[in-house]
Amino acid sequence: MEVTVQCHQCGSALPVAATDESVQINCGRCRQAFLLTFSEAVRADRQVDRCPVCEGSDFWGRKDFDPKIGLAVIGIAILISAGFYYVGLDLVAYGILAGATLIDLAIYSRLSDLTVCYHCHAEFRGDYEQTAGAFDLHTADLLEPEYERKVGIR
């Protein structure tokens, strides 16, 4: 599993592989130190049960989808199909648009899961089984300030 620590001082994303039981990293930009303690399930890429950064156990999950890629595929398809539409080949134009939508769906269905810590925004990527629910704003409103007080940025 790969964990992306979010630096609470400067907001940098710091990727770390969860291999050792504990590891200390420093933020590449502001030198803030983080002592990470990975649970056994996280190291085994089995489940995200405890956050190595803040030791919280509240997570939300989504597909690891970069919307920019999906939009690029659709954008290019629209340009190409506009060309065909212009020369009167509307069926070809529609076919290209439909094809681009299928490509987007194919990309989406093959994406891996992404889990995010409610407290410190650490991200977890791997082949583990997704157990976290969808993002809940109310939970985030409760848990984020707690972490921010703990690290002293509030």
Q: How far is the CB of 8 from Zn ion (least distance, A)?
A: 8
Return d(Cα 59, Cα 47) in angstroms, integer: 11
Which of 116, 20, 103 is CA-nearest to residue 62? 116
**Torsion angles phi and psi, residue 62, rounded to 5:** -155, 175
Residue closer to Zn ion by CB (options 32, 101) is 32
What sign does the CA torsion over 19, 24, 28, 32 have?
Answer: positive
Q: How far is the CB of 44 from Zn ion (least distance, A)?
A: 19
x/- track of binding to Zn ion for residues 28-57 (CB under 5 A) = -xx-x------------------x-xx-x-
Q: Segment 93-132, which members bind Zn ion (CB under 5 A)? A: 117, 119-120, 122
Give the binding site for Zn ion (CB under 5 A): 7, 9-10, 12, 27, 29-30, 32, 51, 53-54, 56, 117, 119-120, 122
